[in-house]
Amino acid sequence: MTERIPPVVTVLADRLHELLGERLVGVYLGGSFVMDDFVGSSSDYDVLVVVSGDLSSADLSRLAALHDRLVDELPDAIRLEGDYVPREALRPVGTSRPVPFFRQGRLQPEPESMLSADNIANMRQDGIRVVGPAAASVLPEVSAEQIREAVREMLREISECPSEQKAASEILDLVRSYRALETGQPATKSDGLRWGLVRLDSALHPLLRRADAVRRGALVASDDRTLRDGLDEIRAALKDRPSETSSE
């Protein structure tokens, strides 16, 4: 299992252990990497750091410096995204309160409630233990309905898409969300693509395939607006679909 862990994640875990000592409960790697859907041109390393007790302002200052050093030292550090969660704040639906988090490798200035039920389920079911006990012994069990409700909440948010790359991500996030609604389980972007190619009208299939190609690094002309202009078509096609389904 160790050989599967990206080196930058191992370095992060080692330095967190040096900084936090016994207060570090566990470090877990999830997301696309553990679900065999990692794409070198666009994917992140999704990390959950579980700690004992709340982190002090002094702890956060040291963590911010740690993240900054990693970004300076290791190119892959900008792929690091995750949350610092006190064990007692973990809930099946995420966390009981906003927690510190990092994006693009750097600790962010204000805590937020970013972790959701599908994140917890992904880490618990498929996550790789980097440090600490098995994820199933630390993270709460999550029901299919809690996953569906987390997905519904995400679907209520409308993301801005200033680029074709952002629109590609949004399209694939939409179809994977509907796949998760159907199954009650976390889904990858590739899962969503396969779902969309079966469930949506064939006229939309070129948009879905283009979104996947852009995600995987296809070149985009400066005046190309294919995905940005087609995003509303995808949203309209999904709007009338049931927001609650089962796998039966």
Instruction: Name the CATH superfamily housing domain 2-141.
Output: Beta Polymerase, domain 2 (3.30.460.10)
To the nearest whole number, what is the mean pLDDT of the chain?
94
pLDDT at residue 125 is higher than 90: yes
pLDDT at residue 247 is higher than 50: no
- 162: phi then psi, degrees, rounded to nearest 5: -75, -5
The dihedral region occupied by 55, where left means phi > 0, alpha psi between -120 and 50, and beta the remainder, is beta
pLDDT at residue 245 is higher than 70: no
Print burial letters for 117-156: b (CB count within 10 Å at least 16), e (below 16): bbbbbbbbbbbbbbbbeebeebbeebebebbbbbbeeebe
Q: What is the mean pLDDT of residues 48-58?
A: 97
Looking at residue 3, its pLDDT comes to 53
pTM of the model: 0.93
Looking at residue 114, its pLDDT comes to 84
How far, CA to CA in Å, does 174 sit from each of 22, 54, 103, 180, 191? Answer: 40, 34, 21, 10, 11
**In this predicted model, what pLDDT tens digit does every residue of 80-115 receive, in sequence order?**
999 999 999 999 999 999 999 999 999 999 999 889
Looking at residue 145, its pLDDT comes to 97
Query: What does the domain layout of the chain look like in residue ranges?
Result: 2-141, 146-239
